[in-house]
């Protein structure tokens, strides 16, 4: 998509240059026979409107391209955070436990409004093929939403989910994390161990989003101290979140 937008931007630049060359001649150079007489009259009767429209369209396209490039940079940084956390857990807890984890970065979309929600922007996992998730969490919904709402570390668990206790999993999901059954059904993996850590803009208390670790295995070595160690790593990474990107 970005390549198509870049092509459109260059085409508009070429068209503007062409019009500037054609206007003094009072004819569309090299294209006199291509367009009908009404088109020629319209172009030379309203050159300012056409040029302003093209310039505005060019600006809009460039802004979109710039924003998408910025999002690519942010998403790549988030992926690096997830991968670094994985390596840290692999080294400090156990390779087996790290292998069971999904590490996801959620970004707050439309922050400081009543419509704010959390959207996954990057993820790292090795246990299963990576599936892009489209699920969104509202403040207070799920571990990610609870972490975002309270702006504090959330370290919790649910019963291990299987065919025999699915109803119990639904019940605890609602009681503990306000996740309705319809939300639970959308989850690619129904985990039983969670760690949510708030991500804040650098040198502020403003929330950027949440780092969520979840696993289908409960590991007794994963404790609050190790959770605090991961939280400290996230605090170091906040230098990348300056608040300049569009919300």
CATH of the domain at 203: 3.30.450.40
- Whether residues 12 and 87 share a domain: the answer is no
125 within domain boundaries: yes
68 within domain boundaries: no
Host domain of residue 37: 2-63
Q: Which of 14, 35, 63 is the last residue of a domain?
A: 63
Q: Which of 12, 38, 63 is the last residue of a domain?
A: 63
Q: Can you read off the two tokens belonging to residue 232?
A: 């400290």
How many domains are there within the chain?
2
Q: Which of 63, 83, 102 is the last residue of a domain?
A: 63
246 within domain boundaries: no
221 within domain boundaries: yes
- The least confident of 133-137, 153-157, 226-230 is 226-230
- Whether residues 124 and 40 share a domain: the answer is no
Q: What distances in angstroms separate CA 202 from CA 206, 228, 240, one per listed residue?
A: 9, 18, 7
Residue pLDDT, tens place only, 11-47: 888 888 888 888 887 777 777 777 777 877 888 888 8
Which ranges of the chain would DSSP assign to H, the alpha helix?
2-22, 37-45, 47-92, 95-99, 142-150, 166-177, 181-186, 224-237
Q: What is the mean pLDDT of the chain?
A: 82
245 within domain boundaries: no
- Whether residues 14 and 41 share a domain: the answer is yes
- Whether residues 131 and 36 share a domain: the answer is no
Is it the case that residue 80 has pLDDT exceeding 60?
yes
Q: Is the full-model pTM beyond 0.85?
A: no
Cβ atoms of 144 and 137 closer than 8 Å = yes
Q: How far apart are CA 94 and CA 215, in angstroms?
A: 13
CA torsion angle for 73, 75, 77, 80 (degrees, to 10)? -140
């Amino acid at each position: 998509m970005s390549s198509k937008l870049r092509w459109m931007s260059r085409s508009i630049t070429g068209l503007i240059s062409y019009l500037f060359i054609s206007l003094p001649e009072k004819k569309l150079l090299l294209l006199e026979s291509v367009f009908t007489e009404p088109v020629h009259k319209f172009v030379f009767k309203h050159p300012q409107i056409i040029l302003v429209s093209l310039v505005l369209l060019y600006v809009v396209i460039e802004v979109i391209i710039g924003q998408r490039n910025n999002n690519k940079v942010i998403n790549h940084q988030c992926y690096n955070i997830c991968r670094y956390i994985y390596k840290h857990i692999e080294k400090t807890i156990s390779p087996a436990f790290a292998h069971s984890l999904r590490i996801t970065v959620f970004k707050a979309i439309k922050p400081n409004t009543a419509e704010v929600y959390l959207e996954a922007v990057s993820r790292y996992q090795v246990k299963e093929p990576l599936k892009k998730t489209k699920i969104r969490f509202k403040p207070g919904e799920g571990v990610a939403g609870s972490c975002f709402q309270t702006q504090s570390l959330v370290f919790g668990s649910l019963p291990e989910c299987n065919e025999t206790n699915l109803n119990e999993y639904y019940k605890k999901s609602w009681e503990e994390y306000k996740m309705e059954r319809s939300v639970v059904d959308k989850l690619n993996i129904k985990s039983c161990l969670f760690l949510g850590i708030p991500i804040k803009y650098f040198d502020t208390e403003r929330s950027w989003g949440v780092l969520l670790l979840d696993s289908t295995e409960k590991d007794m070595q994963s404790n609050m101290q190790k959770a605090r160690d991961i939280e400290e790593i996230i605090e170091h990474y906040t230098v990348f979140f300056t608040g300049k990107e569009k919300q």
